[in-house]
């Protein structure tokens, strides 16, 4: 492809190591019927201001005070979570032994458009929010593209990612309910770090089940989690019944988010005074994360910026959902048109190669059944370095919106991701997380297309977090020891 050719030339001109690899990128484009509109501008819109600063900040007073529930604007709602024992939709009473009561209410409410953010949560947000919208002028120059590139940076807090937006909300509701503590899973460790910070703030106990390969690859990440007072074990473990079962069936497994979720749920429901809290996938999580997209909209409006293309990485959906659903709401209401891209790993391609069907949310098959794009709850992804994206399924909300054709998805192999990460780091001075680098790669591809066509499109992507705890992965990349793995059709069909 022309964009890939430009990308290769750029790497060579800037002495970016490619080792013995060719450009390794798999793009899975959706069929034409899924492409939503022609993404044309509104001819009546105001022209973009010329005096745009490098970083656009909102004041604390301008920070949104409500979360947005995109389901309220969806004519075709996501299918309900099903109780695997009855095959019927979950009720409040059935979910409350697993989740906090108010989170259950948020999970099942597909009518209320706006939820007030509690004052205690807003006050905590002010430690790291509003986050900046950055005009990536140095990346534009490095790529020699006529495109305008912006990114919303969510890595300016100790957890290093966007995960704190939902963690503090979920911990608040647990404290308000009078619980002793909570349990959770974590992949790359950002969610575990965020929830450990939130639980420490509210005086709650926390037990974290961390995907085994990330536990081993990121020892400093787990030490940050312990610094905030949480206990942490590699998953699957021998501390739970479901963990022992998974180890018996998959000896030597490196684990997955599905495994860790199973263990965390079991630990929550078997310990009085505890509930389970999840970092992605569920409606409640996407709701809390809309603070990202809502802030972004306000910052864009300050300078009359109208994006043509919006891009976010996606594993379970917390980032793509939080970043994009406020814009998808505009599309649903007929107010605007955007080209929106979800960038996922080729090693765990839920959107691009998964099936839209009911499936378990966990490997141990003890969690609810969700209608989502999935590669199978028994599928255990390869030990890729984007640990936060190693989940077999996708958010039911995003799955329904994708099925309706409101956005597209692309899958990338990890060497291509780290090539893009290095370009971004050298240009913008921030080391991105592997997960975020999926969005960076898609953004660079789009910018290089603009270089070829001469179009001055405005590209906006979400930079979910920093990669300073991912140096083992960067070392593998720089030493030419990083490999790519793409599951075969037979492997996916087997699940």
The one-character DSSP state at 23 is P
The whole-number pLDDT of residue 298 equals 98
Characterise 172 by phi-psi region: left (phi > 0), alpha (psi -120 to 50), beta (else): alpha
The whole-number pLDDT of residue 40 equals 42
Torsion 14-19-23-27 (CA) sign: negative
Among 464, 463, 453, CA closest to 147: 453
pTM of the model: 0.88
Q: In the Cβ-directed half-sphere of 43, how many Cα atoms lie within 13 Å? A: 0
Strands in 148-276 per DSSP E:
148-153, 181-186, 205-211, 231-235, 274-276
434, 386 contact by CB (below 8 A): yes
Length of the chain: 495
Alpha-carbon distances of 494 from 245, 249, 250, 371, rounded to whole Å: 19, 15, 15, 19
List the pLDDT tens digit at each of the 495 positions of the chain.
555 555 555 556 555 554 433 333 444 444 333 333 333 444 444 677 678 999 999 999 999 999 999 999 999 999 999 999 999 999 999 999 999 999 999 999 999 999 999 999 999 999 999 999 999 999 999 999 999 999 999 999 988 999 999 999 999 999 999 999 999 999 888 999 999 999 999 999 999 999 998 898 888 989 999 999 999 999 999 999 999 999 999 998 988 888 898 999 999 999 999 999 999 999 999 999 999 999 999 999 999 999 999 999 999 999 999 999 999 999 999 999 999 999 999 988 999 999 999 998 877 787 899 999 999 877 766 655 555 566 789 999 999 999 999 999 999 999 999 999 999 999 999 999 999 999 999 999 999 999 999 999 999 999 999 999 889 899 999 999 998 888 888 788 765
Instruction: Report the relative pairing of strands 458-463 and 148-153 from DSSP bridges.
Output: parallel
């Amino acid at each position: 492809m022309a964009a890939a050719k430009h990308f290769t030339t750029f790497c060579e001109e800037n002495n970016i190591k490619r080792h013995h690899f060719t450009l390794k990128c798999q793009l899975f484009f959706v069929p034409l019927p899924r492409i939503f509109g022609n993404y044309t501008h509104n001819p009546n819109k105001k022209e973009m201001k010329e005096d745009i600063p490098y970083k656009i900040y909102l004041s604390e007073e301008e920070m949104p005070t409500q979360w947005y529930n995109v389901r309220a604007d969806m004519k075709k709602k996501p299918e309900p979570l099903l109780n695997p024992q009855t095959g019927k939709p979950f009720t409040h009473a059935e979910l409350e032994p697993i989740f906090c009561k108010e989170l259950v209410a948020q999970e099942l409410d597909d009518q209320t458009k706006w939820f007030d953010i509690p004052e205690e949560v807003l006050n905590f947000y002010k430690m790291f929010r509003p986050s900046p919208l950055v005009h990536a002028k140095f990346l534009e120059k490095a790529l020699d593209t006529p495109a305008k590139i912006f990114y919303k940076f969510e890595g300016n807090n100790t957890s290093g990612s966007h995960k704190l937006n939902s963690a503090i909300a979920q911990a608040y509701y647990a404290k308000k309910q009078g619980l002793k503590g909570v349990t959770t899973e974590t992949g790359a460790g950002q969610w575990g770090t965020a929830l450990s910070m939130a639980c420490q703030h509210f005086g709650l106990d926390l037990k974290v089940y961390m995907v085994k390969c990330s536990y081993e690859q990121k020892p400093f990440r787990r030490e940050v989690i312990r610094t905030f007072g949480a206990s942490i074990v590699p998953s699957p473990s021998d501390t739970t019944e479901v963990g022992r079962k998974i180890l018996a069936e998959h000896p030597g497994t490196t684990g997955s988010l599905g495994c860790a979720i199973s263990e965390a749920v079991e630990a929550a429901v078997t310990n009085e005074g505890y509930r389970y809290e999840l970092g992605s996938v569920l409606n409640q999580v996407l709701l809390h994360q809309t603070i990202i997209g809502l802030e972004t909209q306000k910052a864009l409006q300050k300078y009359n910026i109208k994006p043509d293309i919006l891009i976010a990485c996606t594993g379970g959906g917390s980032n793509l959902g939080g970043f994009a659903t406020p814009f998808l709401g505009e599309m649903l209401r007929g107010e605007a048109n955007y080209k929106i891209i979800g960038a996922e790993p080729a090693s765990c391609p839920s959107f691009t190669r998964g099936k839209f069907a009911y499936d378990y949310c966990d490997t141990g098959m003890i969690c609810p059944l969700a209608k989502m794009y999935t590669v199978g709850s028994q599928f255990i992804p390869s030990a890729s370095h984007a640990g936060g994206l190693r989940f077999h399924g996708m958010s039911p909300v995003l799955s329904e919106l994708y099925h309706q054709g409101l956005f597209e998805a692309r899958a990338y192999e990890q060497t291509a991701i780290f090539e893009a990460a290095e370009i971004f780091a050298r240009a913008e001075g921030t080391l991105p997380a592997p997960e975020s680098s999926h969005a960076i790669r898609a953004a660079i591809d789009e910018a290089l297309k603009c270089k070829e066509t001469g179009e001055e499109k405005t590209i906006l992507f979400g930079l979910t977090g920093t990669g300073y705890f991912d140096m083992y992965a960067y070392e593998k990349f720089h030493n030419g020891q990083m490999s790519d793995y793409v599951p075969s059709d037979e492997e996916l069909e087997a699940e």
